Amino acid sequence: MDEADRQLLRRCRVRLVGELQVASLWDALLNYELFTPDMIEDIQRAGSGSRRDQARQLITDLETRGSQALPLFISCLEDTGQNSLASLLRTNSQAAKRNPEAIKPLDLMPVVVRPVSGKPEELSMVKQDPSKLTPRPEGLRPEAPRPVDISSRRFSDVRAQEGLRGNADLVYVLNADPCGHCLIINNVHFCLKSGLSTRPGSDVDCEKLQRRFRLLHFMVEVKCDLTGKQIVQALVELAQRDHGALDCCVVVILSHGCQASHLQFPGAVYGTDGFLVSIEKIVNIFNGTGCPSLGGKPKLFFIQACGGERKDCGFAVVSTSPEDRAPGSNPEPDAVPFQDRSGSCDQPDAVSNLPTPSDIFVSYSTFPGFVSWRDPKSGSWYIETLDNIFEQWAHSEDLHSLLLRVANAVSQKGIYKQIPGCFNFLRKKLFFKTS
């Protein structure tokens, strides 16, 4: 769907959600092949399953259904007697084609709620010139303005975040409770034909992350031992949900991994059947087309898997932390050699010629090309450290600062060395909701 059609749907969204009679549309949507039966079932399950929730999900998903989605949807409306809505969309669509300026981008000028500390009846919503706004730590997302209650936060937390945030326009707002979905894919057991070993210790990682992200106000869902196809299906299902009332989304993958040819994001993870799923494909499932309800919102990916099979012996430094390897432990790598179909070794990283995705943060447990260590008893170095750092510092530091602490701590572990890294395409600082 082109941008003009998307803007038209968004401008008409309130009326469509308010008036659309979805029950009569299902057969028409199938006949015009706008949606598959599985997609329609997902729409019917959206939210509470009410007509409004279904209508809202239908309009959101419609943006992903190709260049002819709008005219086909208008035909569905006409076939089911919803002529006033069909006329509304057709008239505006024709006007936009005659005059592209007729449908302008949505007005995203900030809406400021004041006074924040006042009573509900004293709150007034006022549009202001962004250049004249006073930066505030609790910035409001334009499409979901609401007063901010900071009374439940510890004073030290608020003061620390205020000092770090600086300009409120450069901070993602995580006011929703829950903040968003967190999907953890935990692959431990692999089929014999895959040639991949069992990953003892991964369940320890999974349990830590479940607890951690629940404490950070996420709805956590765990899926275990997925094939490559099932990994993709689980991610697509998550992307197709309505995230409109949520502020963030987290995906964690615990599996074997390897190097992979790429344009944007290096690396790939293995399904339990030995099928590879590239990190690039995983991330792009959540782009603006595949997941429009997360547009402009942070999408975080944490990958505990090897980036390759090289073992880093490190180099001498003047001062290092004490040896962090527990007595009797025997760390294992999550590495699998990579070869492309021609049998040649992986080529150097390609230069991306695609637009850089925004609001994406991909955290890797190790540097591309190197192994990622996992202890069968205590779990992986990366997840264990991530959990500890989040517990100590998430109340006062932004995501990037937290991951710097993780990288520093992991780099000082063990005989063989490992250093986590990230691809940061966030536009703002992100502070987790901790209270």
Structure-token pair, residue 384: 């264990």
User: Nearest 5°: CA angle at 289, between 107 and 184?
Assistant: 115
Instruction: Judge contact between 228 and 277, C-beta under 8 A.
Output: yes
Q: How far is CA 72 from the centre of its chain?
A: 30
Instruction: Judge contact between 76 and 33, C-beta under 8 A.
Output: no
Q: Tell me if the bond preceding 115 is cis, omega within 30° of 0.
A: yes
Based on the residue annotation, tell me whether 217 is a catalytic residue of this protein: no
Catalytic residue of the set 217, 256, 262, 395: 256
Name beta bridge partners: 182.
220, 250
Instruction: Judge contact between 258 and 264, C-beta under 8 A.
Output: no
First vs last C-alpha separation in the chain: 40
Q: How far is CA 320 from the centre of its chain?
A: 35
Region class of 89: left (phi > 0), else alpha (psi between -120 and 50), else beta = alpha
**CA 255, 261, 262, 265 torsion: positive or negative?**
positive
Catalytic residue of the set 182, 206, 249, 306: 306
Question: Where is 321: in which H helix or E strand?
Answer: none
In angstroms, the Cα distances linking 162 to 26, 224, 225, 394 are 49, 39, 42, 14
Based on the residue annotation, tell me whether 306 is a catalytic residue of this protein: yes
Catalytic machinery residues: 256, 306
